[in-house]
């Protein structure tokens, strides 16, 4: 893994903020640079507008266990989630975890006529009840790295006839997932999947209720070349009917980043990331700091260390503060030296333990 990191990544910082956004691999930067130059002669849609997006779609599908024809290309999780929210019938009950990321929660909160109910993440499965139309959650919580009990949520949904929605944004790329086990899945790919900002995917299971293609334009047509004017006469029969007109440069980069992760393998990334996170947790314990509980997660959040953010940044160590807590994430470009440097700086700062 370290050999790969050296070949594809050479950050000038100690970068530990993947939960905020990932680093772009060298191959992705090279492809973006070449395509940007080509756009001076071939326009902003490039010489092949659909090819890179199709490659990114197929690569993402393989990484998360979905069929490529069930994957739609989007620009943000909120837009994809809003499509699901808009498709639900009047009065439908939606169950989500308390404090989950707003891109998952807010589209349901602002959709008139829905009954939004929340429950603690640990009790989400127990909160599913008869009449719950949809239960959704992030596979990994952005704030503190907690991993949802997805098997329990799926079982509860089956028992009560609820549909399921999974947000994979903080999990895809390092946590093994099977998107095919859910009715709907959404994923922002600019974090752990190392894609340029503006890369997002929506997975719609074949046997799930198919939402109306509310924002369908020409790219969603069965033949996009014949869907440019007036109502689209015939939409794509698969999930491509939910495609948004995509940013070309974004997907030129995305196909390269996703191919890299396929080469490495999610299982290998998982082992690497979680080992670094455990090294950090052990070091925190030695220093007397207690992170929020998130067993097996690549994200580690510490309530007592928010004041370390700026001193760390001055030393070139990039982490994040969320809700007054210091959050670090460990990914394939990080090493044990990164963890040890962070711990050494925290020891030197010697902030209060509570």
Task: Please report the DSSP string for 180-231 in residue order.
Answer: GGSSEEEEE-SSTT-PPTT-EEEEE-TTS-----TT--GGGBSSGGG-SSSS
| Domain identity same for 15 and 35 | no
CB 206 within 8 A of CB 257: no
Domain presence at residue 354: no
| Domain identity same for 210 and 300 | no
| Domain identity same for 118 and 214 | yes
Q: Which domain holds residue 36?
A: 27-263
The tens digit of pLDDT for each residue in 179-198 reads: 999 999 999 999 999 999 99
pLDDT of residue 106: 98
> Can you tell me which residue has the tokens 């949904």?
157
Parallel, antiparallel, or unpaired: how do β-strands 115-119 and 93-97 relate? parallel
Domain presence at residue 258: yes
| Domain identity same for 39 and 135 | yes
pLDDT of 4 over the 90 cut: no
- Mean pLDDT computed over 5-29: 95
The tens digit of pLDDT for each residue in 55-97 reads: 999 999 999 999 999 999 999 999 999 999 999 999 999 999 9
Q: What is the pTM of this model?
A: 0.96
Instruction: Give the CATH number, domain containing residue 280.
Output: 3.90.1150.10
Parallel, antiparallel, or unpaired: how do β-strands 200-204 and 71-74 relate? antiparallel
The tens digit of pLDDT for each residue in 132-163 reads: 999 999 999 999 999 999 999 999 999 999 99
| Domain identity same for 107 and 255 | yes
The model's confidence at residue 176, banded by pLDDT at 50, 70 and 90, is: very high
pLDDT of 23 over the 90 cut: yes
pLDDT of residue 350: 85
> Can you tell me which residue has the tokens 């599908």?
61
| Among the listed residues 148, 165, 168, 147, the one whose alpha carbon sits nearest the alpha carbon of residue 157 | 165
Last residue of some domain: 214, 242, 263?
Answer: 263
| Domain identity same for 299 and 185 | no
The structural domain count of the chain equals 2
DSSP 110: H
């Amino acid at each position: 893994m370290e050999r790969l990191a050296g070949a594809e990544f050479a950050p000038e910082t100690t970068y530990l903020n993947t939960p905020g956004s990932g680093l772009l691999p060298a191959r992705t930067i090279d492809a973006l640079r070449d395509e940007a130059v080509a756009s001076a002669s071939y326009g902003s849609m490039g010489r092949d507008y659909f090819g890179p997006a199709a490659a990114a779609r197929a690569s993402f599908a393989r990484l998360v266990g979905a069929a490529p024809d069930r994957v739609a290309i989007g620009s943000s999780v909120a837009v994809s989630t809003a499509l699901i929210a808009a498709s639900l019938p009047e009065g439908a009950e939606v169950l989500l975890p308390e404090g989950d990321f707003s891109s998952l929660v807010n589209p349901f909160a602002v959709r008139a006529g829905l009954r939004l109910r929340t429950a603690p993440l640990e009790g989400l499965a127990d909160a599913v009840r008869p009449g719950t139309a949809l239960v959704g959650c992030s596979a990994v919580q952005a704030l503190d790295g907690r991993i949802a009990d997805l098997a329990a949520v799926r079982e509860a949904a089956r028992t009560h006839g609820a549909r399921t929605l999974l947000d994979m944004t903080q999990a895809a790329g390092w946590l093994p997932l099977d998107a095919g086990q859910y009715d709907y899945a959404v994923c922002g790919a600019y974090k752990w999947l190392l894609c340029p900002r503006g890369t997002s995917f929506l997975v719609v299971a074949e046997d799930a209720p198919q939402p109306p293609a509310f924002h369908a334009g020409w790219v969603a047509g069965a033949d996009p070349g014949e869907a440019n004017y007036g109502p689209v006469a015939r939409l794509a029969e698969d999930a491509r009917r939910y495609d948004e007109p995509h940013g070309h440069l974004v997907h030129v980069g995305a196909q390269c980043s996703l191919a890299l992760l396929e080469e490495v393998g999610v299982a290998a990334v998982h082992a690497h990331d979680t080992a670094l996170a455990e090294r950090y947790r052990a070091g925190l314990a030695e220093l007397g700091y207690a992170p929020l509980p998130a067993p097996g997660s690549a994200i580690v959040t510490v309530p007592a260390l928010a004041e370390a953010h700026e001193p760390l940044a001055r030393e070139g160590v990039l982490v994040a503060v969320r809700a007054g807590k210091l959050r670090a994430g460990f990914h394939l470009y990080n090493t044990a030296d990164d963890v040890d440097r962070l711990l050494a700086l925290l020891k030197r700062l010697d902030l209060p333990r509570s």
